[in-house]
Structure 1
Amino acid sequence: MFDFIDQKKVVYITFSVILFISAIIAPIGVFYPIKSMFITPAAYEIGTSSISMITGGIGLALLACGLVVLATMEQRVKKYGAAFILFVVGIAGVSFSLTDYYYITSENFVHNAPFALTSEKYEWTDFEKVEERIIKENGVTKVNAVTFYMKDGTVLDMKAGAILSMTGTIKNSVERSGGNVERIQEDEV
């Protein structure tokens, strides 16, 4: 006798394995370059938060789980209902990952926060103060966090990512526009 293998199930499982592997690689290897392609060429530096990488990975993993559900569940209503929910949440995770970025140009700082769909643009004259927190770790002084205080009362606290390497450009731009820069030494780690 011949064993009958449902080809749809094989395709679903194959794509789910690809998506599971992509969940590890794609947030850094694919999503970040996609962001870079669609951000203005005037950007000096581009960054994204670590949460962006996590939401993108989880989103791809949920899409893979949706395919596994389609391949393994037999009850039609439960199968399509569960897969639909997993696909919707997975697509939301991927979209939040793709819309989480920040960059600097000669005129402004643009920030699209995690879990936000719209970006905020701050001219360098909008900055009241930049606080740079520095620590000494194993004898090396480094920037640990940066906090931006805007004239309209907005406070942006950024603890990790490319923003730490952008601080020199940001500090110079803010000082040239009349803002203050303050360095705060924190306890040694």
Structure 2
Amino acid sequence: MVDFYDQKKIVLVTFGVILLISAIFIPAAVFYPAKVISITPNAEVVGTSGLSLILGGGGIVLLAIALFIPAMMEQPLKAWLLSGIVAIIGFGAIAFSLGDYYYITRDGFTYNPPLAFESSTYTWDEFERVEEKVGSASGTNSIESVTYHFRDGEQVEFSSGRIFEMHGSVTNRVEAAGGEFNRIQEQ
């Protein structure tokens, strides 16, 4: 019986190590493409926040820890209970990671923020204005952040990500729908 128990520990630790190593690349190599595939085919560009990748990697690390716990603890009931709690938190982090996205279509902009499961879709005429903050470093101007202001009072600010690739298209569509574009030069 002791040999079987030791083999079970070896299997748990082995899968835990595999998950730890996978935590480095799975969020970018699997989770992001899964979002792109599962989001409407009408999406022109799909983006996600950096927090999404961190949450996904953290969730996978927690799943690895959930496998290590029963292999390291001697009290099976406490080990599996603690392992289950850690695994639930890990799956929650992965779910939040998968639920964090934004994309544009011909008709509007859809945004599902980090740590939320409900998305908001705005048509182009619901945009009040787009603010682009431009900074200067070593004589070169670059976009530091983009803020979208909506007529219902909501606003969304991005400081990195694929939003900068789609920003020109968003700005053109907002202006065509009657919204404003403001460029703010930061010092």
TM-score w.r.t. the length of structure 1 is: 0.94
- Are the aligned partners of 1:144 and 1:164 in contact in 2 as well (CA < 8 Å)? no
State the Cα distance separating 1:139 from its structure 2 match: 2.6
Structure 1: runs of 5 or more not aligned: none
Greater CA drift, 132-141 or 47-56: 132-141
Counterpart of 1:177?
177
- Are the aligned partners of 1:128 and 1:179 in contact in 2 as well (CA < 8 Å)? yes
Counterpart of 1:140?
140
Determine the C-alpha separation between the residues in 1 that align with 2:138 and 2:49. 25
Counterpart of 1:31?
31
Identity value in percent = 44
State the Cα distance separating 1:181 from its structure 2 match: 0.4
Counterpart of 2:89?
89
State the Cα distance separating 1:80 from its structure 2 match: 1.2
Question: What are the Cα deviations for residues 47-72 of structure 1, in whole angstroms up to 9, with x where unaligned?
Answer: 00010011111100000000000212
Counterpart of 1:4?
3
Determine the C-alpha separation between the residues in 2 that align with 1:7 and 1:175. 64
Determine the C-alpha separation between the residues in 2 that align with 1:165 and 1:9. 47
Determine the C-alpha separation between the residues in 1 that align with 2:139 and 2:107. 36
Question: What are the Cα deviations for residues 81-112 of structure 1, in whole angstroms up to 9, with x where unaligned?
Answer: 21011101000010000000000011110000
Determine the C-alpha separation between the residues in 1 that align with 2:170 and 2:138. 26
State the Cα distance separating 1:36 from its structure 2 match: 0.6
State the SS of the aligned residue for 1:135.
strand
Counterpart of 1:61?
61
Determine the C-alpha separation between the residues in 1 that align with 2:11 and 2:99. 30
Determine the C-alpha separation between the residues in 2 that align with 1:105 and 1:11. 46
State the Cα distance separating 1:140 from its structure 2 match: 2.2
State the SS of the aligned residue for 2:147.
strand
RMSD over aligned CA atoms reads: 1.2
Question: What are the Cα deviations for residues 16-61 of structure 1, in whole angstroms up to 9, with x where unaligned?
Answer: 1111011111111111001111011111111000100111111000
State the SS of the aligned residue for 2:29.
helix
State the SS of the aligned residue for 2:25.
helix
Determine the C-alpha separation between the residues in 2 that align with 1:47 and 1:41. 14
Counterpart of 1:45?
45
Amino acid at match of 1:178: G
